[in-house]
Amino acid sequence: MTKARLATPILLAVAGLVLFGQGVYIHAKALLAQVLLERAFDATIATGHTTKPWSWADTWPVARIEVKRIGASAIVLAGSSGQALAFGPGHVELTPNAGERGVAVYSAHRDTHFRFLRNVAVGDEIDITRDDGKKFRYRADGSSVVRFDASGIDPLSDGYELVLSTCWPFDALTSGPYRYLLHATLIKS
């Protein structure tokens, strides 16, 4: 009897710890990967060659996003597969690079790398450093909430635009079909 009574809370505690640990692991991975990515990105700019952050990585850094007003910064990875997004924001396939004609789309998790997105206000300056070292400054000019499959983004539009995308609502616990988009337009390159 006593044993059983003791065992249940211990089991619960272990299960709780494991679950909690998994949650922490996701955040830890997101944080740590950024440190490695930061180094790889610096190396990329310095050498001009793509540098993978770790040897078996399926992706590599392509740009740095900075919002100086709120002190936010993240290294963007090539591709937006689930595996890439665990480590950093992803450059959505088939959208142009930052600084090019069209709409560049970067996407990241709302609870890790793009947590800061909710704090970005219209008028904020967003700085993008590309892996070739070129810098571009965008100005946030609006936000919208769309369904993931009806983003309304035409990557070939005439302007020089940037869209940062993350899941919406920000505080939801499960993933849904809605995405929060922050639109920005190039002001300086």
Partner 1 sequence: MTICDDTQSIHRLALLRIVKLLLFFVMQGIAVILVGFVALFVSFEPVWSAENLQATITKPSEARSGSLLFKTDDGYVDATRLGVDVDLTVSGPTIRARVTQIFRNPTQDWVEATYVYPLSAGGAVDTLKMVVGDRVIVGDIKERQQAKVIYEQARAAGRKAALTEQERPDIFTNSVANIGPGETVLVQIEYQEPVHQSGDEFSLRVPLVVAPRYNPAPIVQSVDMRADNGGWGSTSSDPVPDRDRITPEVLDPALHGPVNPTSITVHLNAGFPLGEVKSPFHAVKIESPDSTTRVIRLADGQVPADRDFELTWKPAAEKAPSVGLFREHVGNADYLLAFVTPPTVEQAERKPLPREVIFVIDNSGSMGGTSITQAKASLIFGLSRLQPNDRFNVIRFDHTMDVLFPDSVSADAGHIGQATSFVNALQASGGTEMVPAMRAALTDNAHGDSNTLRQVVFLTDGEIGNEQQLFETITAMRGRSRVFMVGIGSAPNTYLMTRAAELGRGAYTHIGSVDQVEERMRGLFAKLENPAVTGLAVKFSSASADIAPAILPDLYRDEPLVLAAKLDKLQGSVEIKGRIGDRPWTVTLPLANAAEGKGLSKLWARRKISDAEVARTTRQISPDEADKAILALALQHQLVTRLTSLVAVDKTPSRPEGTPLKLTDLPLNLPAGWDFEKVFGERPQLPKPPAERRADASDLQTAMAKRPQPAIMADTVRLPKTATDAELKMIAGSILLMLSLLLSLTNRRRRLAR
CB 123, min distance to partner 1, A: 24
Q: What residue ranges in 31-154 does DSSP mark as E strands?
A: 61-67, 72-78, 90-91, 102-107, 125-130, 135-147
d(CA 189, CA 135) in angstroms, rounded, equals 6
The two beta strands, 61-67 and 102-107, are unpaired
List beta partners, residue 76: 63
Among 72, 128, 153, 162, contact with partner 1 (rule: CB under 8 A): 153
Question: Per rule CB under 8 A, is residue 143 in the interface with partner 1?
Answer: no
User: Which tokens in the block code for residue 103?
Assistant: 């709409």
Residue closer to partner 1, measured from CB, 22 or 71: 22
Report CA-CA distances (Å) from 14 to 21, 31, 129.
Answer: 10, 25, 44
Instruction: Write the binding mask 165 to 184 for partner 1: x where contact by CB under 8 A, - elsewhere.
Output: xxx----xxxxx--x-----
Question: Per rule CB under 8 A, is residue 95 in the interface with partner 1?
Answer: yes
Of 38-67, which residues contact partner 1 (CB under 8 A)?
39-40, 43, 47-56, 58-60, 62
Residues in the interface with partner 1 (CB under 8 A) total 94
Q: Do the beta carbons of residue 75 and residue 87 sit within 8 Å?
A: no
Among 132, 142, 145, 187, contact with partner 1 (rule: CB under 8 A): 132
Stretch that binds partner 1, among 34-42, 67-75, 120-128, 136-144 (CB under 8 A): 34-42
User: Which tokens in the block code for residue 165?
Assistant: 């995308």
Among 42, 45, 66, 101, contact with partner 1 (rule: CB under 8 A): 101
